C-alpha cells in the first residue's frame, strides 16, 4: 500500500512529497505548508476499500 504521494504545489508549481496513512481515516483533509514556498496547501485524501488513494491539492483559504 502506497503512503508517499508526490503532488504539485498549487502556488509555486514545485513537486513535493507528502505521506498519508489509511489508519488516519478513509477520508482526510489537512492543511500543510509547502516546503518550498511556505504557502498553505489543502490536501484531500480518499482511501478506497482496497487501500488505493486519490490525493488532491489546492490552495488553502
Q: What is the pLDDT of residues 15-33, one digit of tens each?
A: 999 999 999 999 999 999 9
Are 11 and 34 a contacting pair, CB within 8 Å?
yes
Confidence class for position 2, pLDDT limits 50, 70, 90 = confident
What pLDDT, on the 0 to 100 scale, is given for residue 16? 96
Note the pLDDT of residue 58. Answer: 97
String of b and e for 38-52 (b: at least 16 CB within 10 Å)? eeebebebbbeeeee
| Residue reference for cell 498553505 | 40
Cell of 23: 489508519
Q: How far apart are CA 53 and CA 15, in angstroms?
A: 18
Rounded Cα distance, 9 and 22, in Å = 22
**pTM to 2 decimal places:** 0.88
Amino acid at each position: 500500500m502506497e503512503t508517499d504521494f508526490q503532488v504539485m504545489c498549487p502556488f509555486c508549481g514545485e513537486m513535493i512529497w507528502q505521506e498519508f496513512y489509511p489508519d488516519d481515516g478513509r477520508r482526510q483533509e489537512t492543511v500543510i505548508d509547502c516546503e518550498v514556498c511556505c504557502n498553505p496547501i489543502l490536501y484531500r485524501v480518499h482511501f478506497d476499500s482496497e487501500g488505493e488513494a486519490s490525493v488532491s491539492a489546492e490552495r488553502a483559504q
